[in-house]
Amino acid sequence: MALTLVLLLPFLGSLLAAFLPSNARNAEAWLAGAVALGATLIVLSLYPQVAAEGVLRMSIPWAPALGIDFSLRMDGFAWLFALLVTGMGTLVVVYARYYMSPTDPVPRFFAFFLAFMGAMLGIVLSGNLIQMAMFWELTSLASFMLIAYWHHRADARRGARMALVVTGAGGLALLGGVLLLGHIAGGYDLDTVLAAGEVIQAHPWYPLALGLIALGALTKSAQFPFHFWLPHAMAAPTPVSAYLHSATMVKAGVFLLARLWPVLAGTDAWFWIIGGAGLCTLVIAGYLAIFQQDMKGVLAYSTISHLGLITLLLGMNSPLALVAAVFHIFNHATFKASLFMAAGIVDHETGTRNLQRLSGLYRAMPITATLAMVAAAAMAGVPLLNGFLSKEMFFAETIFLDRPEWQRIVLPLAATLAGMFSVAYSLRFIHQVFFGPKAEGLPREPHEPSRWMLLPSGLLVTACVLVGILPELTIGPLLRIATDAILGAGAPAYSLAVWHGLNLPLAMSAAAMVGGAVLYRVFLWRTSETVPLLEAIDGKRIFDWLQLALTSRASWLIERLSPPRLQMQVLAIVAVALGGALLPVLTKGMSWGTRPTTPADPAFVLLWLIGGVCALAVAWQAKYHRLAALIFAGGAGLATSLTFVWLSAPDLALTQLAVEVVTTVLILLGLRWLPRRDERYAQVQGPGATTRLRRLRDVLLAAVAGLGLAGLAYAVLSRPDVDGISPFFIEQALPQGGGLNVVNVILVDFRGFDTFGEITVLGIVALTVFALLRRFRPAPESVPLPRQQRGPDDPDGLVFEPAADPAAKLPTGYLMLPAVLVRLLLPLALLASLFFLLRGHNAPGGGFVGGLILATALLLQYVVGGIVWVEAHLRIRPLTWMVLGLLSAAGAGIGAWLTGSPFLTSVAWHGELPLLGELHLSSVLLFDLGVYMLVVGATVLMLIAIAHQSLRAHHRKPSGGAA
């Protein structure tokens, strides 16, 4: 219960904080402070329990199917860390209250601050690894938001992104790692995993899992070579740096390493990966820290270096080293946080953090200076301060390392060197800021800040001193339960004494002290602007360059991976389809069927010789002679419909023919709007070589595809008939479908639902065409009338034939005579179409053909009579027709519900009608009527939409006609 509360409190606080007004600085501070303090107190109150029972658990079932529950688990180690997170949080909140300026929108700050606290506690208290990985990412996100708190600053934005990308990527790697780990251990629960040490280390995936988890931990703890993000995270407000980037978040990595130490550590891989990274970081970062100009920069690199120290300790595969690591985690948090606070104070009071400009602040702010000095001393590892103790332990470990000889020599030397560095930068930090001549021309006149701002730093420094002098009484027991929690029974005996007698570690410390002092005195009295030896290496530049390279390469690549050209896409589709279709044939092989083939009729052959030539002609002519191409296509269509007649498909023939006519007319209407193009252009600029190649490629592909389809067709045509579903339709057409024309019965009854969808498509397309053309204006150069319509007196074709007079009985002009016929034709067409509609059920015909016939008639009216005249004479409401069509089709279907049977069940009525003979009236007829009306409506709607373009074009002309 208490556990849940600890975790929930910060998140609730964060929610609350987000909704306070943006100027409520005090309210926010009180809220955050209360939350943090409350959490701290709860954690403290849990100490006896943890000390007694060892581990507290709490679990709520979440996703059993995935083998994860929401579970919290607090042992000594987790407890110490939780205390660190909450306690440090409390102090930083107090500090932040005075640090943030009144103009800052603090709700955002405190909301994310508390959210981070919650996420961090989540990592610490998670009872299973997946949950831990979740909170892990959450801390990255929260830190992103906090670094970018002043998002109007470029460096803040970049720093935030760098941190997010690096730690986020690490988090993903970690997720992968724990997935493997959980799979190996047979469960993601922490206890399960911790119990499966041998299994894990024996498993073939162990190196992979280790690598991924190390990736996560090292990125998070800013270890070499992923360290570069941390210095840039310093763009964050100082409280954030003090809290996230020195005390807590960057410790998550080492926390994880320590957490999984029992199961992962002890192997060579572990030593080299973790220890190696730690050692490099320790030395390199220490070296870099010396040369920083920004106070926070120094602290950032020293943080990295100290994290390196901790990582190295963890990598040493020795329990005592682990103890030292945990101890140093705690110590580092105390002194580094207080140093950050000091830096913030200096920044706050003087307006700069530049070491070059700062000097002699001791007189102005003695208290700050004293605190900073003590903390810095702890960082340098001066005796009687906590830093000294853990550093001694570290030195001792490096000496007694259980490794080959040379490593036993290299390591202590490196350690001492790093010690020298840390002494040097600590000295520089203090000396340049607080001593020397009084600084001139600072942005602000320095003076002590308010007491409250000093309090947190003061408390931390006190902790440093107390721990440094009386380790056993203060930190001793806490450290013990923490280390016992990790090491269990195997926890080594150790003594936290200040004085271990004159021994090698002490000598190393002394060497580090002297060396560091000399280093500073001799080389760094006047530091150079840049870092000697390493100036080339600049994490930021490399990162930016990587980012840029990534983006540009990617956009270069994607242009090739998915080219924007339609031809490439169609090519890809055809090629893939062809290849895929060939695959089974080639792998399994196939032979023609055994069905006796019907003898080829020469007339039929001739028909298709013509048809084939037409098709090829279209392909040949479509570019330069559109009209010709259209006519040839018509020829091919004709051949198709004749084939239908030939092979006993009268309905198809009829429909194909009707469609043919309408389509052609529509295309003719549309042709007018395409740009002129004729052979002469082609002659002028003949196709280039690449064009020819491309054409050749396309010809080949097309040929192969065509042959393939032909092959498929023949393969099926030559197979014996299958006893499929078709006999049913033929047998039942009359008895159950009540119609003789089986095709029509299928269309309107057996598979009426298809037709239902099909007419919907027609309707949709009509709507689309209408919607599109309503907005559309033709291209200016195609506005002038086509040559055919121009009179002799208007060469440029911008004067039209005498505007059609709506009142006229007949359209005037050169189309007078045809118009007469066409007008007479209209009523006949109407009759014919109705006739086809009604007989459809028993003889070739049906609603669709009927509808098309009527539509064609209307179309002719337009072509011949001209829009103005036609619309003056007959009102057509295509939309209404369509709606009625759809409704009656749907109605015919719904009607069946009344008889309790499903949609589209036919309800029949037989009767005799004069002149049409025996007639079968039924819901089916209503359905077909719906088809009829919709076809008329849709076709006419499209026609009107297209035809009206010419009107538009002409109307545009008087108004300048400019595009």
Q: Which two tokens stand for residue 955?
A: 């109307």
Upstream peptide bond of 958 is cis (omega within 30 degrees of 0): no
CA angle 626, 629, 631 (to 5 degrees): 110
Chain positions 182 to 241 lying near other proteins, rule: CB under 8 A, are: 182-183, 235, 237-238
Residue indicated by tokens 């702890």: 378
Please report how close the Cβ of residue 839 comes to other proteins at its closest, in angstroms: 11
Cα–Cα nearest to 438, from 522, 365, 374: 365
* One residue of 52, 152, 445, 502 binding other proteins per CB under 8 A: 152
- Residue numbers 20-49 binding other proteins by CB under 8 A: 22
Quote the least distance from Cβ 725 to other proteins, whole Å. 5
Nearest to 231 by CA among 545, 464, 546, 541: 541
Tell me if 123 sits within 8 A of 78, measured CB to CB: no
Quick one: tokens of 535? Answer: 């100036």
Question: Is position 644 an interface residue for other proteins (rule: CB under 8 A)?
Answer: yes
| Cα gap 210→218, rounded to integer Å | 12
Q: Is beta strand 56-63 parallel, antiparallel or unpaired with respect to 68-74?
A: antiparallel
Answer for which of 623, 809, 910, 955 binds other proteins (CB under 8 A) is: 623
**Distances 47 to 2, 40, 82 between C-alpha atoms, Å:** 12, 11, 11
Q: For residue 358, state whether it binds other proteins (rule: CB under 8 A).
A: no
Residues 29 and 452: beta-carbon distance below 8 Å:
no
Cα distance between residue 633 and residue 619, in whole Å: 9
Name beta bridge partners: 128. Answer: 189
Least separation in angstroms between CB 614 and other proteins? 9
d(CA 566, CA 572): 10
Strand intervals (E) in 482-583 = none
Please say which residue, 256 or 283, places its beta carbon nearer to other proteins: 256
Q: Element (H or E) spanning 112, and its range?
A: helix 106-125
β strands within 814-933, DSSP E? 908-913, 917-922
Residue closer to other proteins, measured from CB, 278 or 846? 846
From CA 921, how far away is CA 917, in angstroms rounded? 12
Residue 178 beta carbon to other proteins: minimum distance, rounded to whole angstroms: 10
Structure tokens at 778: 């033709």
Residues 554-573 as x/- pattern, contact with other proteins by CB under 8 A: xxxxx--xxxxxxxxxxxxx
| Minimum distance from residue 790 beta carbon to other proteins (Å) | 22
Which 371-430 positions form the footprint of other proteins (CB under 8 A)? none
Residue 69 CA from chain centroid, whole number: 27
Cβ-based nearer residue to other proteins, 437 or 589:
589
Residue 203 beta carbon to other proteins: minimum distance, rounded to whole angstroms: 12
Residue 349 interacting with other proteins (CB under 8 A): no
Least Å distance, CB 907 to other proteins, is 11
Q: How far apart are CA 225 and CA 424, in angstroms?
A: 23
C-beta of 360: minimal distance to other proteins in Å? Answer: 19
Q: Is 798 in the site for other proteins (CB under 8 A)?
A: no
Residue 835 makes contact with other proteins by CB under 8 A? no
CA distance 166 to 143: 12
Quick note: the x/- pattern for other proteins over 271-310, rule CB under 8 A, is ----------------------xx-xx-------------
Q: Which residue stretch of 221-229, 500-508, 617-625, 797-805 sits at the interface with other proteins (rule: CB under 8 A)? A: 617-625
- Of 678-737, binders to other proteins (CB under 8 A) are 685, 688, 690-691, 698-699, 701-703, 705-707, 709-719, 721-731, 733-734
Number of residues that bind other proteins (CB under 8 A): 250
| Tokens standing for residue 5 | 């509360």
| Binding residue for other proteins, selected from 48, 757, 914, 917, defined by CB under 8 A | 757
In the complex, what is the shortest distance from the CB of residue 679 to other proteins, in angstroms, rounded to a whole number? Answer: 14
Cα gap 247→84, rounded to integer Å: 8
- Beta carbons of 227 and 539 less than 8 angstroms apart: yes
* Interface stretch with other proteins, choices 259-267, 375-383, 498-506, 749-757 (CB under 8 A): 749-757
Query: Under rule CB under 8 A, which residues in 439-478 are in contact with other proteins?
Result: 443-444
Residue number with CB closer to other proteins (76 or 176): 176
Contact 907, 922 (CB under 8 A): yes
State which residue, 526 or 588, has the beta carbon closest to other proteins.
588
* Interface map 657-676 toward other proteins (x if CB under 8 A): --x--xx--xx--xx-xxx-
Contact status, residue 799 vs residue 793, Cβ threshold 8 Å: yes
Q: How far apart are CA 371 and CA 394, in angstroms?
A: 25
Contact between 755 and other proteins per CB under 8 A: yes
Q: If binding is defined by CB under 8 A, does position 536 make contact with other proteins? A: no
Smallest separation (angstroms) from other proteins to the CB of 673? 5
We find the least distance from the C-beta atom of residue 475 to other proteins, in angstroms, to be 34
* Torsion angle of C-alpha atoms 417, 418, 419, 422, degrees rounded to 10: 130
Residue 43 or 629 having the CB closest to other proteins:
629
Would you list the DSSP string of 573-601? HHHHHHHHHHHHHHHH------PPPPPPP
Note whether 33 and 86 are within 8 A (CB). Answer: no
Interface with other proteins by CB under 8 A: which range of 166-174, 222-230, 250-258, 471-479?
166-174
Residues 239-268 that bind other proteins (CB under 8 A): none
Q: Which of residues 885-904 bind other proteins (CB under 8 A)?
A: 886-887, 890, 893-894, 896-897, 900-904
Applying CB under 8 A, the span of 248-256, 319-327, 406-414, 945-953 interacting with other proteins comes to 945-953
Amino acid at position 58, single letter = M
Q: Which of 150, 400, 435, 494 binds other proteins (CB under 8 A)?
A: 150
CB of 52 to other proteins, least distance (A): 33
Which position among 414, 506, 615, 919 is part of the footprint of other proteins (CB under 8 A)?
Answer: 615
Among 31-39, 508-516, 626-634, 796-804, the segment contacting other proteins (CB under 8 A)? 626-634
The three-class DSSP label of residue 739 is coil
Q: Which of 56, 173, 242, 829 touches other proteins by CB under 8 A?
A: 173
Q: Which of 157, 403, 790, 873 binds other proteins (CB under 8 A)?
A: 157
β-strands 68-74, 908-913: how paired?
Answer: unpaired
Residue 671 CB, shortest distance to other proteins, in Å, is 8
Confirm or reject binding of residue 648 to other proteins (CB under 8 A).
yes
Cβ of residue 707: shortest distance to other proteins, in angstroms?
Answer: 6
Whether the CB-CB separation of 428 and 287 falls below 8 Å is answered with no
Rule CB under 8 A: say whether 172 interacts with other proteins: yes
Residue 554 beta carbon to other proteins: minimum distance, rounded to whole angstroms: 3
Question: SS3 of 236, please?
Answer: coil
| Near other proteins by CB under 8 A: residue from 843, 908, 919, 921 | 843
In terms of Cα–Cα distance, which of 111, 108, 140, 144 is closest to 123?
A: 140
Gap between the Cα atoms of 361 and 771, Å rounded: 76
With beta carbons less than 8 A apart as the criterion, state whether 570 and 323 touch. Answer: no
CB closer to other proteins, 359 vs 755: 755
Nearest to other proteins of 283, 747 (CB atom): 747
Longest dimension (CA), the chain: 128
Q: Using CB under 8 A, which residues numbered 111 to 140 contact other proteins?
A: 130, 133-135, 137-138
Sign of CA dihedral 545, 548, 553, 556: negative
- Helix, strand, or coil here: 71? strand
Given candidates 41, 42, 51, 104, which one binds other proteins under the rule CB under 8 A? 104
- Residues of span 475-514 touching other proteins by CB under 8 A: none
Within positions 764 to 793, which residues make up the interface with other proteins, using CB under 8 A?
764-779, 782
Sign of CA dihedral 313, 317, 321, 325: positive
